[in-house]
Structure 1
Amino acid sequence: MPETGQFTPDDLDAYFRRIGRPGARRADVETLRDVHLAHIRAIPFENIDPVRGTAPSLAAADLIAKLVRGRRGGYCYEHNTLFAGVLRALGFRVTGLGARVVVGAERFEDRPRTHMALLVEAPGDPQPYLADVGFGAPGALLEPVPLTPGAEFRGAGRRHRLVHAPHRGPLKLWVLEAYGPEKEPEDGPAPVPGAWQAQYAFTLEPFEHADYEVINWHVATNPRSPFSRRPYVQRVTSDRHLLLDGSRLTETRADGTVTERELTGEAETRRVLDEEFGIAVPEGTTLPA
């Protein structure tokens, strides 16, 4: 999965300052976990460029300028292209994957492969890992998980597992599942029990940079794409998950407490993006409600 350009030592220094991780830079699983979690907590998920009618650049220099040196975030292609470049510079082997987002889908085949994920291998370690710092959903990975079917993995307070699902192709279909917590009832007398929920499905077919360029353009510019119509912004910290979907702001605390409110207009949306998400909205941007 060649990139458009490579990261310089100065770029890597800036990246590690951005994610707040000044520690050792080794190609081992401990470093992979640490950098993965630090990246997600430092750089927000956002789709402001598609809302502005622009397909984000996936060139290395542009990713560094926007996500690392600028007060911006990005969506899956930007996050995972940046992360893949950093991991390669550290000595990891990285393969790009294409996934179908299947949250709420009755049939996996009804969803296109529009999500980017990563298969990561460390030198001398036979165990590959699924890594993904760009899935804008509450069921996203916070830490990479071993590519092992059936086992449950707990990372930074979230529970995940990988399972196989039947499909027509010659390659095994992997499904990332997240465990949804028990919920308080809306009308009934008892809590709604938690359950495993499919997040996305993928095979191990390698995707190249050119593949992501095409999908990136389609998702950013197609008028039917949810990313081109309204702001969708996410930030994860150690004690909360913050989500802005259009004008609705949802905060989920570590104890499961959820609060929601509607933002009153574009001025408040800009303020929340700046103060709560750490995003500087480009001048001339109109944010739809």
Structure 2
Amino acid sequence: MIYTQEQIARYLERIQYDGPLDVSMDTLNGLIYAHQCQIPFENLDVFDFKKEIDLDPQSLYRKLVLNERGGYCFETNGLFYGMITSLGFDAYPCMCRVMFGVEDPADHEIDHRATIVRMDGKKYFCEAGIGAAMPPEALEVAENKWQEMKGYVYCTRTVEEGWYATVRKTKSGGEKMELLFSLLPVHEIDFVRISYALSHSADSKFCRMRVVNRRTPRGYYDLTDDVFTEEADGKKTVVKLSRDEIPGILKEKFHLDISEPLRPL
């Protein structure tokens, strides 16, 4: 067990989850959605504060649970994986490529982690750590099997040998490939150098811009540098913020009470 019962209880309080805790799909889906809605995806430590990212499970617990911060995928999905395995789920970490704006996997490096859960002879892709762009529940890994979840429709599809895509149906009836993942089990240590590169390289998106995102029951909140976007019931509102307005938005919309000065843009 990675986390103690006391730590699990504090995590459940943090994500405001009071549902079942048995090893079931209802529990798994509830935990994914609650985690997405309460723990934001954010790179403030990398972009604004120039702090080192520590992927040790206890460090993740202190930052994301006790200190009520968010994190980027290696942190948020790392915490989620540790919590569900401590609850008894049969799970392992997997490597991913986020494909926003990219068509060919050869054009984009591995830059993300998620979790595969095994249950009742099936495998499920679980993503809790990248904000509102991902499935809000566990997605069965089954070729072109469309699955409806909380108003969204997704499937998985083989892209190349060993790699699968999460595909979302758009409101216009099209399809959008969001992310590629591998079913090959990996270990926590496999993410250390990837995370270090993404948090230090001048070419990394996380070093070049501020990115904060949180799912909401009606859509999502997003902050990219100084541009705040709210999507609610399919309608988007976009506002450019002044430097003085950003801390208030971080607190009100993302539940991030930041006392350190943010980086000038």
TM-score (ref. length: structure 1): 0.87
- Structure-1 separation of matches of 2:6 and 2:130: 27
What corresponds to 2:162 in structure 1?
A: 172
- Whose helix proportion is higher, 1 or 2? 2
Shift in Å, 1:133 = 0.4
Equivalence for 2:134: 140
C-alpha distance in 1 between matches for 2:52 and 2:143: 35
Contact 2:96–2:180 at 8 Å: present in 1 too?
Answer: yes
Q: Which residue of 1 aligns with 2:250?
A: 273
Match for residue 222 of structure 1?
Answer: 201
Aligned to 1:157: 151
Q: Which runs of 5 or more residues in structure 2 are unaligned?
A: none
How many pairs does the alignment contain? Answer: 264
- Per-residue CA deviations over 1:97-125 (Å, capped at 9, x if unaligned) read 11111222131111001110111123xx1
Query: Per the alignment, do residues 288 and 198 of structure 1 end up closer, same or farther by CA in structure 2, a change over 3 Å counting?
Result: farther
For the 8 Å contact 2:2–2:85, the answer to whether it is kept is no
Which of 192, 201, 214 is equivalent to 1:235?
A: 214
Task: Give 1:180's aligned amino acid.
Answer: T
1:71-82 residue pairs with structure 2 within 5 A? Answer: 71-82=68-79
For 2:215, give the aligned amino acid.
V
Identity between Structure 1 and Structure 2 (%): 27
Contact 1:54 1:220 (C-alpha < 8 Å) held by counterparts: no
What's 1:245 paired with? 224
* Aligned partners of 2:155 and 2:167 also within 8 Å: yes
> Of 260, 264, 267, which residue of structure 1 is paired with 2:238?
260
Separation in 2 of the partners of 1:277 and 1:139?
16
Report the TM-score, using the length of structure 2 for normalisation: 0.94
The answer on whether the counterparts of 1:103 and 1:197 sit within 8 Å (CA) in structure 2 is no
Residue 213 (1) aligns with residue 210 (2): no
2:21 maps to 1:43? no
1:30 aligns with 2:26: yes
State yes or no: 1:108 paired with 2:87.
no
- For 1:52-63, list aligned pairs within 5 A: 52-63=49-60
Structure 1 unmatched ranges of 5 or more: 183-193
The structure with the larger Rg is 1
Deviates more, 1:51-60 or 1:68-77: 51-60
Q: Is the 8 A contact 1:139 1:178 kept in 2?
A: no
Task: Tell me the distance in 2 between the aligned counterparts of 1:212 and 1:281.
Answer: 27
CA contact (8 A) 1:12 1:86 kept: yes
Work out the CA distance in 1 between the residues paired with 2:79 and 2:264.
Answer: 28
Q: Does 1:94 align with 2:91?
A: yes
SS across alignment from 2:79? helix
Cα distance in 1, alignment partners of residues 207 and 196 from structure 2:
11
Q: Structure 2: how far apart are the matches of 1:240 and 1:175?
A: 22
Alignment match of 1:117 (pick from 114, 120, 134)? 114
Match of 1:181 in 2: 171
**Inter-partner Cα distance in structure 2 for 1:260 and 1:146:** 34
Instruction: Give 1:282 shift.
Output: 4.6
Q: CA deviation at 1:209?
A: 0.8
Q: Does 2:118 correspond to 1:130?
A: no
Question: C-alpha separation between the residues in 2 aligned to 1:95 and 1:181?
Answer: 33
Displacement of 1:135 in angstroms is 2.2
Q: Distance in 1 between matches of 2:148 and 2:51?
A: 37
**Structure 1 residue matching 2:23: 3-state secondary structure:** coil
